[in-house]
Structure formats: C-alpha cells, structure tokens
Amino acid sequence: MANQYKKLVDQQARLKQKIEQEDFKLRQSKYYENQQARKARSRRLIQKGALLEKYFQADNLSVDQTEELLKIFADYVNAHKPDKLKK
C-alpha cells in the first residue's frame, strides 16, 4: 500500500513538473512572438520616418513641427488616396 502511494506521489510530481515545463515553453513562445511583433513595428516606423524625412525634407524639423506639417496635408491626402491604398 505504501509502495503504491509512493508511486502515485512520484507520478504526480512528474506530471506537475511536466505541466510547469509546458507552461514555461508557452510563456516563452508568447514572449518571443511579442518581441518579434515589437521589432517589426519598430522597423516599420523607422522606415516610414525615413521616407517622411526624404520626401518632405523634414530632417531638420522637430517632432512637433513634423506633426504640424502632416496635419496641413492629412485631410487632402486622405481624401485623395487611391482605393488600393485604403483599408
């Protein structure tokens, strides 16, 4: 009887350890996915910022000045955006 109890306790401990390992792998996977998404977003923002500076010659403007510049053209650009570029 004590031997069976010991086997059950060992089996329970192994299952608990396996669950903890799987939980860790899942959390690690989600962290990796989130990290990749953040990196992709950062890369996209950097590329778009570079294009903004290139085409609007905005490299000497502050963030606030750049925002003001974009506000001036935003309504026009959004109203005349081709259908293929709309969501």
20 vs 24: CA distance, rounded Å: 6
Averaged pLDDT for residues 47-71: 95
65 touches 52 (CB < 8 A):
no
Structure tokens at 4: 């069976």
Q: Residue 45: is its pLDDT beyond 90?
A: yes
Structure tokens at 45: 């923002």
Q: Structure pTM? A: 0.66
Distance, C-alpha 62 to centroid of its chain = 26
Query: Rounded to a whole number, what is the distance in angstroms from the first to the last CA of the chain?
Result: 68
